[in-house]
Structure 1
Amino acid sequence: MTADAVGGVWTYALELCRALSVHGVDVALATMGPEPTEPQRAQAERLTNVTLHCTSYRLEWMDDPWDDVACAGAWLLALAARERIDLVHLNGFAHAALPWRKPVLVVAHSCVYSWWHAVRGTEPPSSSWERYRHRVAAGLNRADVVVAPTRAFLHELHRHYEFDVPSRVISNARTAPLAAARVPAKEPIIFASGRLWDDAKNLCALDLVAPRIAWPIFVAGDARSPDGREARTDVLHCIGKRGDDEVAQWLARASIFVHPAHYEPFGLAVLEAAHAGCALVLSDIATLREIWGDAAIYVDAREPSNIEGALRLLIDTPHERVRLGRLARRRAATLSTSRMGEAYCALYRQLSSGPVRERSVA
């Protein structure tokens, strides 16, 4: 299984590996991109069914990555041969076009073209990104099956890339933390999380809202981008990047979780907040509506006044906060790691029992 340690893919991979352990599935977890931190390595090492293999090869969505992508491909093929793997689970696209001798599953977590369409309202410059589009499409077409966490995101993949292979939806999942299970009394605070510098997360909108509401807004996440650019805020309470346990403690205290993202193929942060019984204020995008249904308030996140109105409503109506928090917790309980593990195991068995697709070098 491939992964990176940059964001949600790491969390997804460890949750899935943990769920697979009860089914007797051993995982060679191969990471590219920035190497896992010591706390991340410790997380992986606690999983007895996982062996961690790390490199720092550039990821396919980074600037000028293709020499590194090729080197990473050779490394992955050698690793697969050495580990005698039975199946390839790729949390990326380009490496599906390698000459694998085993079934290949591609799980789509995000992509550059759908990001640009959602955030910028256009496509990325073809001069810079056409090769990326070609490599993603090639990988999708060489996979045995493509998985997405929502129907809406699967639709976006088909919108931006031409591919014709079997596909299905398997929801992501997150283990409910112990802090959420204790259900403490909620406090008059609002919480958000994500990369402050990432335009897709749109957390800068909260900087416009915060001075006009009575409750403080706390935000967990990196303010500095990989290229050194730092997001600045005047009124948000930025607490920096925090570990899972600390975030869980904040969510256990928070009455409201606000997520104004322009682009969110799934949203593990929202799931964590729902486990904690927070009332959810979410951007009105198809993926979030698909997951959360009537368990949230939806807003046009391009209009800060809409975010402000939803937050004011919940601040002023305690019974509505409690009602939405209960609905969110109930919905989160259906997105269990056990169900995710069972769904992937069933798919693994199906792929392993069928004929192996012939693959040559793309």
Structure 2
Amino acid sequence: MAAILREHDPRSILVTSEATPELWEYTSDLVTGFASRGIDVTLALLGAPPSPSQLRILEILPNVRIEVTRLPSVVSAESATDLSQATSTLLAAANEFAVDLVHLHSPMLAGTKRWTMPVVASNFSCSGTWWSTKSTGQMPADLMWRTRATAIGMSILDCVIAPTWAHACAVTDFYGAGLSLVSVPIGRRPSLKINPSAEKFVFSAGDIWHEGWNASTMDKIAGSLTVPMYCSGEPRSLSGSTVQLKNLRCLGQIDSQNKDVVLGQASVFISAATYDPVGIHVLDAARAGAALVLSDLPGYREFWEGAAVFVNPRNADDFVGAAESLLGNSQWRAEMALNALDRSREYGTERMLQGLLHVYAAVLAKRAIALTA
């Protein structure tokens, strides 16, 4: 039975997304959750079209419309012109289908002018906050125009949604105060592949090509462990550059179901990331029953304080020491894995959906008040 909508809940939404594995899982949970509540959803997809298997679950929902735009994705866009074309297409779709609200997956898609309906955007990561983690060097031109587009987009949005308060603070520090910012944690469904016995190998996952994933440190860790270390993810960037790994055994990009199987067998999950605002792979590892060894980042602390071992992301030896200690002490490993599993249950899809609907209702109510003032 569909949930009863409140006065300021949207009756129809346009949601944007891309078919990348992590973003698609998030989008599928959103669309399915909204549709189950009787909300009409128009899903506008940028970038490469999704596979038939990706679409299958959403296509059977009666109140979901899927628009494959084939426009450049946020990542593959080469200029602000590419993004302005996407913005125009999305605005036309929002007007055509008379949606109550638009939820963009990046502030860059908001464009430069105020929309005719309320618009919110998720800031999962951005060039500005990523660059602020680096101590030296001038921002490259490709990141500079993206940073400008993000700043302009956020200035006209009704609300910016960050996955953690730590990232919301980073956004404020870099782009300045005055933005309407909230934090709504990412949520996941419970894993069905938990293996309490676990096997003695270490696992990781992420955008291996991205500098923030810290591939050089991860490879050093893999070379010093007494057990195998595997990772899933794409080592090749869109520009064609490839991260070279000597010790870490890369499985390539694997779907969520197969990743859950591997995570359910791993003893320890390591993230040595220097930038990871969302932390979705850590959440996946925790809900699958792996013990966590993580970079000492504010966002990781926010989610996993007391449920993970924290390490300086530049110190490979400390990661190795923490992982080997967990591998050699089954009681401690089981305790840390259980702590992480219990914590992961706080971040389910229902909490995420309720948080987003609360944001939507507040934005719609504010617009309604402004129109009658």
Aligned to 1:355, the other structure's residue is in SS state helix
Q: CA deviation at 1:258?
A: 0.7
1:100 is aligned to 2:115 = yes
Distance 2:165 2:306 in 1: 17
TM-score normalised by the chain length of structure 1: 0.91
Cα–Cα, structure 1 residues 122 and 155, in superposed 2: closer, same or farther, change >3 Å? farther
1:318 is matched with 330
CA contact (8 A) 1:196 1:204 kept: no
1:116 is aligned to 2:128 = no
Distance 1:173 1:355 in 2: 28
* 5+ long unaligned stretches in structure 1: none
CA contact (8 A) 1:221 1:241 kept: yes
Q: CA deviation at 1:220?
A: 1.1
CA contact (8 A) 2:77 2:83 kept: no
2:166 is matched with 152
Mapping 1:284-303, distance limit 5 Å: 284-303=296-315
Distance 1:273 1:81 in 2: 40
Aligned to 1:53, the other structure's residue is in SS state strand
1:212 is matched with 224
CA RMSD of aligned residues (A): 2.2
Aligned to 1:178, the other structure's residue is in SS state coil
Deviations 1:16-73 (A, max 9, x none): 2222233222221112233323433335435554322122333455563222111111
1:173 is aligned to 2:173 = no
CA contact (8 A) 2:80 2:149 kept: no
Deviations 1:171-221 (A, max 9, x none): 1111123223xx452111111112322211113322212232221111111
CA contact (8 A) 2:193 2:264 kept: yes
1:91 is aligned to 2:72 = no
Q: What percentage of aligned pairs have identical amino acids?
A: 29
1:344 equivalent among 348, 351, 356: 356
Deviations 1:122-166 (A, max 9, x none): 475265544433322221111112211111100111112135133
Distance 2:204 2:145 in 1: 35
1:14 is matched with 28
2:12 is matched with none
Cα–Cα, structure 1 residues 34 and 116, in superposed 2: closer, same or farther, change >3 Å? farther
Q: Partner amino acid for 1:66?
A: A
2:317 equivalent among 297, 305, 311: 305
Cα–Cα, structure 1 residues 260 and 48, in superposed 2: closer, same or farther, change >3 Å? farther
2:280 is matched with 268
Q: CA deviation at 1:325?
A: 0.4
CA contact (8 A) 1:60 1:132 kept: no
Cα–Cα, structure 1 residues 255 and 46, in superposed 2: closer, same or farther, change >3 Å? farther
Q: Partner amino acid for 2:226?
A: A
CA contact (8 A) 1:116 1:124 kept: no
Q: Partner amino acid for 2:117?
A: K
Which region of structure 1 is more displaced relative to structure 2, 58-67 or 285-294?
58-67
CA contact (8 A) 1:191 1:217 kept: yes
Distance 1:48 1:283 in 2: 43
2:72 equivalent among 58, 61, 67: 58
Cα–Cα, structure 1 residues 40 and 185, in superposed 2: closer, same or farther, change >3 Å? same
Distance 1:156 1:24 in 2: 35
* 5+ long unaligned stretches in structure 2: 1-14
Which region of structure 1 is more displaced relative to structure 2, 164-173 or 253-262?
164-173
CA contact (8 A) 1:58 1:65 kept: no
Distance 1:260 1:124 in 2: 24
- How many residue pairs were aligned? 356
Aligned to 2:321, the other structure's residue is in SS state helix
